[in-house]
Structure 1
Amino acid sequence: MSGLAIGDALGRPVEGMSAQKIRENYGSVQDFLLLSPGGSDDTEYALLTASAILEYGLDITADQFADFWKEKVCTQTAAFLGAGFSEMSAIDNLRRGLAPPQSGQHTHAWSDGLAMRVAPIGIVAAGNLPLAISMTTADGSVSHSGEGIWSGLAVAAAISVAMNGGSAQESFAGALQSVPQDSWTYRALVKVQKVIAEGEGKTTPDLVDLLLHDVAVEDYYYADLAPEAVSLALAAVLYGAGDFVKTLLFAVNLGRDADTIAAMAGAVGGALVGYEAIPDSWRRAIVSVKGSCLEFAAGLNPVEVAEQLVALKESK
């Protein structure tokens, strides 16, 4: 959760920029660009999933996730600042009385909105891929279907393996084995794995460009395509090889859906190294959220919530 919040804060100022534009404006992003860094919808939706799990436990069902959304999210009257199309479509479907999986069946169901919020599942399902898969599928069916869920499985699985002491390579392998082979997500993961494996001797900008060439859909209007964003985030995990800072900076400088890519890479990277390995100067971004997207989350702190999730896991 800490790594997710840091990645969200690092990437938020360059969200929507191309890698080339980032280079033109900043050379490369090496630290927070804002004096008061903080997260966005990525962190708050992860706190939504975490709060639902803490409410219902590890055997939480899709209907219970939906009930939590209806209680905490669908009742909100203020604007959902920064919310994605997939989440807004799901909220609309839930308000109209649809239930999972129908609530997650809409025209933006392939977004990275599930993958960005599954870090809590990886924590409570540490070392238990079947549990990570079942919980992610339950959560995902509220707002996503198809590639949107499969990409979420990849991130949850990677965190599950990392939380159990796995390496970056092992976490990536866990992601790959949790995704249907006949899927866009799987093919994108295989592509980025090949680029990183063959990348020795290449400069970081060259690697970034190769990855974007292979998996980015640059002629589509939005950069929140889950197979693209998740494969790029996990490419950053492979590139970082257990170095949290290296992982996060690579992820941010990919551009595109930079806050979400960095949030997912940070979630896995943080699980690999643990809280104490995160630089002190970056921990200042882990603050209680404002509830700017999800009002119910105002005041929740990612570190405190992560500790509650660990306690829940250890109590079982």
Structure 2
Amino acid sequence: MTPVHTELADRVLGGWIGRISGNMLGKPIERGDYWTRERIERYLRQADALPLTDYLPDPPSWVEEFQLRPEWQQCVRGGVHGSCRDDDIDYAILGLHLLETHGFEFSTDQVGELWLLRLPYLQTFTAERAAYRNLVNGLKPPLTATYENSCQEWIGALIRADIFGWTNPGAPRRAAALARRDAVLSHTGNGVYGAMWAAALVAAAFTAGTPRAALDTAFGVIPSSCRLARTVRRVVTLHEAGLGWEETLATAEAETAGLGWIHTVPNSAVLTAGLLYGEGDFTRTIALTVRGGLDTDSNGATAGSVAGVLCGAKAIPSQWRDPLEDRVRSAVFGFDGARISELAARTLELSTLSK
């Protein structure tokens, strides 16, 4: 089952707007070792911003403890005029360019070539920077992912996966296969599984109807015994058992302790909880996901993408959509200042070719 073309266009645009607005919501507090759930809640309470229904407010002027990212003034209420540049959006754009340039039969080598041509080295981080360095030094995949790379299971490949879901609506296995081909440039193990899972989750959202249905479908594209799958299933089970959002996250945090705040597995728990307890409501979904902490901008972006596909662009509340002014900043050569609507239209064209 696939959506009709007009509905598909709205859902693809919803995915782009959702990804960008969710990323912007989480960006000022992107540092999970400092911005714990408790600190985020304290910030929101002192700023009188609970429930969270808009971009983050300015930090309370009388409080000195909160350390936001340097670009926070362009990411808070009243300060958003188009999106800030961020790697979570750069990779969606680069993935679009990859598919437009090489089609759905692209190779992992071609992914690396486009990185070198279009993406500045200093705008890459963790596993991507290690892979970029390895490419420059002449290594080929899969060595680019494994040589002197301590971040192989971190979240970088997952944040690159949405484009493969947007261009394969209702086809989660195909989306996951494309995401895997991209991910192995820089990741292994759960890092690759995270990309496959996220791509399938986005693809399934076009036809699944609910976050839970999309999650159930996405389970099927990764090994059931991998730690990512076990962690996501654990969150689903806790939700089914009637535990509250905070208790579910506390349990997942204890069971993934030691992996670090940028690792794919604990972030998959935060993302899954945001989708389940958000219950399909766009605002509630991205707000809970960002309030869950860890890699807040990446999790907010993926949750926003899934929620945006589920509801469509027209149903995304104006407080998220309008401040973006249909513009996106990007470090990808040739794309800075692109219109979000144009990126979505180009994505839609690819999605019709993927049939």
Q: TM-score, structure 1 length as denominator?
A: 0.89
8 Å CA contact 2:172, 2:201 repeated in 1: no
Matched, 1:64 2:87: no
Other-structure match for 2:21: 6
Other-structure match for 1:36: 79
What is the percentage of aligned positions where both structures have the same residue? 24
Matched, 1:24 2:70: no
8 Å CA contact 1:2, 1:275 repeated in 2: yes
Q: How does 1:125-204 map to 2 (within 5 A)?
A: 125-199=168-242, 202=244, 204=245
Q: Secondary structure at the match of 2:347?
A: helix
What is the Cα deviation at residue 213 of structure 1?
Answer: 3.3
* Compared CA separation, residues 95 and 122, structure 1 to 2 (3 A): same
Q: Secondary structure at the match of 1:142?
A: coil
Specify the code of the residue in structure 1 equivalent to 2:313.
Answer: Y
Q: Distance in 2 between matches of 1:303 and 1:155?
A: 22
8 Å CA contact 1:44, 1:289 repeated in 2: no
Q: Distance in 1 between matches of 2:41 and 2:199?
A: 31
Q: TM-score, structure 2 length as denominator?
A: 0.80
Q: Distance in 1 between matches of 2:293 and 2:53?
A: 13
Aligned residues, how many?
A: 305
8 Å CA contact 1:61, 1:135 repeated in 2: no
2:130 to 89, 100, 119: 89
Q: Secondary structure at the match of 2:338?
A: coil
Q: Distance in 2 between matches of 1:97 and 1:296?
A: 25
Other-structure match for 1:245: 283
Specify the code of the residue in structure 2 equivalent to 1:248.
Answer: I
What is the Cα deviation at residue 166 of structure 1?
Answer: 3.6
Q: Secondary structure at the match of 1:113?
A: coil
Q: Secondary structure at the match of 1:144?
A: coil
What is the Cα deviation at residue 141 of structure 1?
Answer: 1.2
How big is each residue's C-alpha offset from its partner over 1:68-115, in whole Å with a ceiling of 9 and x where there is no partner? 112112xx36x32xx421111111011111222221222111111111
Q: Distance in 2 between matches of 1:114 and 1:296?
A: 22
What is the Cα deviation at residue 66 of structure 1?
Answer: 1.7
8 Å CA contact 2:53, 2:284 repeated in 1: no
Q: Which moved more, 1:253-262 or 1:277-286?
A: 277-286
Other-structure match for 1:212: 253
Q: Distance in 1 between matches of 2:154 and 2:323?
A: 26
* Compared CA separation, residues 122 and 169, structure 1 to 2 (3 A): same
8 Å CA contact 2:282, 2:304 repeated in 1: yes
Q: Distance in 2 between matches of 1:224 and 1:270?
A: 24
Matched, 1:107 2:150: yes
Unaligned runs of 5+ in 1: none
User: Quick check: which has more Rg, 1 or 2?
Assistant: 2
Q: Distance in 2 between matches of 1:233 and 1:252?
A: 9
How big is each residue's C-alpha offset from its partner over 1:21-72, in whole Å with a ceiling of 9 and x where there is no partner? 0111212544212132334221112211122112212222212212211211
* Compared CA separation, residues 206 and 303, structure 1 to 2 (3 A): farther
How big is each residue's C-alpha offset from its partner over 1:223-244, in whole Å with a ceiling of 9 and x where there is no partner? 1101111232122112222211
Unaligned runs of 5+ in 2: 1-15, 57-75
* Compared CA separation, residues 183 and 22, structure 1 to 2 (3 A): same
Specify the code of the residue in structure 2 equivalent to 1:60.
Answer: F
8 Å CA contact 1:288, 1:299 repeated in 2: yes
Specify the code of the residue in structure 2 equivalent to 1:15.
Answer: E
* Compared CA separation, residues 285 and 180, structure 1 to 2 (3 A): farther
Q: Distance in 1 between matches of 2:341 and 2:208?
A: 20
